[in-house]
Amino acid sequence: MTLAKRIIPCLDVDAGNVVKGVNFSDVRIAGDPVSFAKKYTHEGADEIVFLDINASHEGREALKTVIKEVARVINIPFTVGGGIRSLHDAREILLSGADKVSINTAAVKNPELVSQLMNLFGKQCVVVAMDVKRHYINDSTEKKSYWFEVRIFGGREGTGIEAIGWAKSVEKLGAGEILLTSIDTDGTESGYDLELIRAISRAVRIPVIASGGCGSQEHILEVFRRTDVEAALAASIFHYEKATVNSVKQYLKDNGINVRI
Amino acid sequence: MAKLAIFDYGAGNLFSLESSMRKNGAKQVSIIKDMDTVDEFDGLVLPGVGNFDPAIISIEPFKRALEKASVTGTPILGICLGMEMFLERSEEGKLNGLKLLKGYVKMLDKKKVKVPHIGWNNLNITNKSSKLLSGVQNESWVYFVHSYRIVSQEKEITMASTEYGTVFPVVIEKGNVFGTQFHPEKSGVIGEKIIRNFIGVCIKSK
């Protein structure tokens, strides 16, 4: 046996509530993070990711309280991201009980932060999240061409940075993992963005977590069969109880994927 | 009832380790930054978050106390980096290790596997008399987050190994010195069993 493929439920959190957005907008409230975390741990989640999607000063204190509660009830690793801009922010999150911090906008604005975090906490603590969207090039021909652009501030702002090159840069800077979200597929429940995931996963030698677009267990099987990502993140299929973590893992196992059961 | 101390190198999350120790039988858990009071505790834990050199710098002044504990005193559990520090040196840093164990720390082979090794992998239990692994089944899943592995020159101290690119020791025991390459505090119910076993050792050695 070898390293298992990980199934990671994601809790998007805003002011203490778990929420799930569609295409990074039209936010709907879905429930309490602590009970979700507890439930997923019991169901066999391999890890939990916790993203503060609207990190404000007031929200930050609420988040720390939630992290402490979540850390107390679960015995598996968990990652917290959203609004982490400095070493101070990262340390506060880690000391509240998170195992890893995920940084996104701050990594783009201040790439040094990735290295600083690595030097202080070790690279295994540092997840760089990338929100990526196809950027179409207008040309006179019928054929549409595009490149992958890194976007920041929850997908609201373009950067002009090409995603594959950026993935290689964050690996060099000292990221331990990449959490890769396709804005094009996020919230659509139409399947992971296999083309993007394959491109990024092949470009780096650190683990990649696929995110954005999962609507069924078949999508998770597909991403493990057709790309070499180490982990798949999903939110809505678990939140709305289309499937349990356990049933998904059993399905994957039955289809020859090495998972922890 | 066991009183445990967790040594703080000043980097990272000790909260989940602390709450896991409490949940699994420790009556008292103290976070310590020096070893002046180490004799008052029944067990000492060196946690697994940080970088080799900064961690060594923070613990170096207490090397004598650790050496003493390793022979006669308080059981010590090193988790991940905490275990790596027991060896003589590490490719992660320039400083010497604590030299409680013979051997060194080597980076995982990036050509063969993605590094860090992050996620759940199996234990291959090679020594059934292991105290930490008492009641733990072979091939149990445990959670790893590391880029380095230990190369031990004392074969007999390895209780279990794991394969990732190569086969390496992931549970070691030598006298009062215990180590896990994985994170028991993050390894679900199996990890909790291992922590209860360590706390059991601490209680017995009082």
Q: Report the Cα B185 to chain-centroid distance in Å.
A: 11
**C-alpha span between B154 and B136 (Å, rounded):** 23
Show the CA angle centred on residue B46, arms to residues B206 and B184, nearest 5°: 90
Give the mutation candidate from A99, A170, A204, A246 for the B interface (greatest B CB count, under 10 A): A99
The per-residue pLDDT for range B72-98, each reduced to its tens digit, is 778 999 999 999 999 999 999 999 999
Cβ A31 vs Cβ A42: under 8 Å: no
Contacts of A68 in chain B (CB under 8 A): 15
- B43 has pLDDT over 60: yes
- Average pLDDT score over chain B: 93
Contacts of B14 in chain A (CB under 8 A): 95
Report yes or no: A225 at the B interface, CB cutoff 8 Å: no
Cβ B95 vs Cβ B56: under 8 Å: yes
B30-54 in b/e form (b: 16+ CB < 10 A) is eebeebeebeebbbbbbbbbbbbeb
Q: Cβ A121–B12 below 8 Å, yes or no?
A: yes
The per-residue pLDDT for range B98-152, each reduced to its tens digit, is 999 999 999 999 999 999 999 999 999 999 999 999 999 999 999 999 999 999 9
Tokens 């896991």 belong to residue: B20
Specify whether A131 is catalytic. Answer: yes
Cβ A152 vs Cβ A131: under 8 Å: yes
Report yes or no: B200 at the A interface, CB cutoff 8 Å: no
Contacts of A121 in chain B (CB under 8 A): 11-12, 49-51
Cβ A34 vs Cβ A70: under 8 Å: yes
Report yes or no: B187 at the A interface, CB cutoff 8 Å: yes
Q: Quote the pTM value.
A: 0.91
Q: For residue A153, what are its two tokens?
A: 């501030």
Q: Cβ B121–A1 below 8 Å, yes or no?
A: yes
- Per-residue pLDDT, A231: 97
**C-alpha span between B181 and B84 (Å, rounded):** 8
- Per-residue pLDDT, A26: 60
A12 beta partners: A19, A51
Q: What is the 3-state secondary structure (H, E, C) of chain A?
A: CCCCCEEEEEEEEECCEEEEEECCEEEEEEECHHHHHHHHHHHCCCCEEEEECCCCHHHHHHHHHHHHHHHHHCCCCEEEECCCCCHHHHHHHHHHCCCEEEECHHHHHCCHHHHHHHHHHCHHHEEEEEEEEEEEECCCCCCCEEEEEEEECCCCEEEEEEHHHHHHHHHHHCCCEEEEEECCCCCCCCCCCHHHHHHHHHHCCCCEEEECCCCCHHHHHHHHHHCCCCEEEECHHHHCCCCCHHHHHHHHHHCCCCCCC
Closest CB from A47, A76, A95 relative to B15: A95
Q: Which amino acid is present at B171? A: V
Q: Among the CATH numbers 3.10.20.90, 3.40.50.11540, 1.20.210.10, 3.40.50.880, which is that of B2-204?
A: 3.40.50.880
Pairing of strands B148-152, B103-107: antiparallel
The per-residue pLDDT for range A112-160, each reduced to its tens digit, is 999 999 888 778 889 999 999 999 987 666 667 999 999 998 889 999 9
Report yes or no: A171 at the B interface, CB cutoff 8 Å: no
Range scoring the smallest mean pLDDT among B48-62, B81-95, B159-173 = B48-62
Tokens 């992958």 belong to residue: A148
Report yes or no: B175 at the A interface, CB cutoff 8 Å: no
A113-145 in b/e form (b: 16+ CB < 10 A) is bbbbbbbbbbbbbbbbbbbbbbbeeeeeeeeee
Q: Percent of chain B, pLDDT > 90?
A: 76
Phi-psi category of residue B196: left, alpha or beta, with phi > 0 → left and psi -120 to 50 → alpha? alpha
Contacts of A97 in chain B (CB under 8 A): 13, 15-16, 19
Report yes or no: B57 at the A interface, CB cutoff 8 Å: no
User: How far from A131 is each of A17, A41, A198, B70, B119, CA to CA, in Å?
Assistant: 22, 26, 15, 48, 23
SS3 for B111? coil
Phi and psi at residue A224, in whole multiples of 5°? -80, -30
Cβ B12 vs Cβ A98: under 8 Å: no
Residue ranges of A 53-82 with Cβ closer than 8 A to chain B: 68, 71-72, 75-77
What is the CATH number that goes with domain A6-254?
A: 3.20.20.70
Of A198, A206, A182, A174, the C-alpha closest to A103 is A174
Cβ A232 vs Cβ A8: under 8 Å: yes
Q: If you count them, how many residues does chain A have?
A: 261
Q: For residue B205, what are its two tokens?
A: 């050695």
Q: Which amino acid is present at B38? A: V
Of A228, A229, A220, A208, the C-alpha closest to A253 is A220
Report yes or no: B166 at the A interface, CB cutoff 8 Å: no
Give the mutation candidate from B9, B105, B117, B120 for the A interface (greatest A CB count, under 10 A): B120
Cβ A128 vs Cβ A175: under 8 Å: yes
CB under 8 Å to A167, separation ≥6 — which residues?
A130, A178, A180, A200, A203, A204
Q: Percent of chain A, pLDDT > 90?
A: 60
**C-alpha span between B155 and B139 (Å, rounded):** 20
Complex ipTM over 0.90: no
Average the pLDDT over B16-34 and give the result: 91
Higher pLDDT, A25 or B53: B53
Report yes or no: A115 at the B interface, CB cutoff 8 Å: no
SS3 for B73? coil
SS3 for B165? coil
* Residue ranges in chain A whose pLDDT is less than 50: none
**C-alpha span between B180 and B162 (Å, rounded):** 11
Nearest-CA distance A145 → chain B (Å): 31
Q: Where are the domains of chain B?
A: 2-204
